[in-house]
Amino acid sequence: MPQLAPPCALQPMTEELLDSILTIENVAFTHPWSRGNFADALRSGYHAQVLLDGDTVLGYFVAMQILDEVHLLNLTVSPLHQGQGLARTLLGALCDWSRHTAHAQWLWLEVRESNQRARRLYEHYGFAQVGARKKYYPVHHGERETAILMSMSLWP
């Protein structure tokens, strides 16, 4: 498990944290997840973690396990706290859980083609592009953007 600088802590996402999470989500994205999306993920038992500094939500992720695969659905760091390695911390926690608790063989994700910062993070972590989904993400005024499909083997 990645080391966190005190007083940072990683804990399970709960409905009580959704107001703070939605504040971040709405600032970070032009097409954010809704409260219903997060609530559905929690009810479905998806693996969802929040990185906290005291009572302040710094970031979070939501992932879904399907057999021997884990699919990262959302990984977000508050724009106020980006550039501090928190996305790497969250991704490291997800990889550890996927390997050692979920016993998954593969980790999958989709990322906007234009999100070069996230793509570099994922590539640095060992993800490789395995495909693209044309016109997957909404952009604006009915336009859509390609999603880059990436995967990483969790076992050498």
- Is 122 designated active site? yes
Residue-level pLDDT at 4: 63
CATH number of 8-153: 3.40.630.30
- Is 110 designated active site? yes
Could you tell me which of 42, 101, 100, 104 has the C-alpha nearest to residue 70? Answer: 104
The one-digit pLDDT tens for each residue of the chain (156 residues) are 455 655 689 999 999 999 999 999 999 988 899 999 999 999 999 999 999 999 999 999 999 999 999 999 999 999 999 999 999 999 999 999 999 999 999 999 999 889 899 999 999 999 999 999 898 776 878 788 889 999 999 987
Residue type, 61: F
Q: Which of 25, 60, 110, 137 is catalytic?
A: 110
What is the separation, in whole angstroms, between the first and last Cα of the chain? Answer: 19
74 is in an annotated binding site: no
CA dist., res. 3 & res. 74, Å (int)? 22
The residue extents of the domains of the chain are: 8-153
Q: Which of 25, 46, 60, 122 is catalytic?
A: 122
The structure's pTM equals: 0.91
Could you tell me which of 100, 88, 31 has the C-alpha nearest to residue 59? Answer: 88
